[in-house]
Amino acid sequence: MDHVAIIYKRARPEAAELASKLASWLQNRHIDVFCRENVGSADITCDVPAIEIPPENQLVIVIGGDGTFLSVARFLCARSTPIVGINLGGLGFLTEVTTADCCRELERILAGDFIIEERMRLRVVIMREGREYFSHSVLNDVVINKGALARIIELKTTIDGHYLTHYRADGLIVATPTGSTAYNLSAGGPIMVPSAHAIILTPICPFTLANRPLILPAHVTVSIEPEGQVRRLTLSCDGQVGCALTPSDRIVICADANPVRCVKTPSVDYFEILRSKLKWGQN
Catalytic residue list: 66
Residue 138 pairs with which residues in a beta bridge?
122
- Number of Cβ within 10 Å of residue 40's Cβ equals 22
How many CA atoms does the CB half-sphere of 37 hold within 13 Å?
10
CB 195 within 8 A of CB 205: no
CA distances from 171 to 96, 167, 202 (A): 30, 8, 9
CA distances from 159 to 38, 47, 140, 201 (A): 37, 30, 20, 11
Considering only CA atoms, which of 81, 29, 73, 115 is closest in space to residue 237? 73
CA distances from 180 to 94, 110, 136, 217, 228 (A): 12, 31, 19, 15, 29
Strand, coil or helix: 72: helix
132/197 Cα distance (integer angstroms): 26
- Number of Cβ within 10 Å of residue 186's Cβ equals 11
6/57 Cα distance (integer angstroms): 10
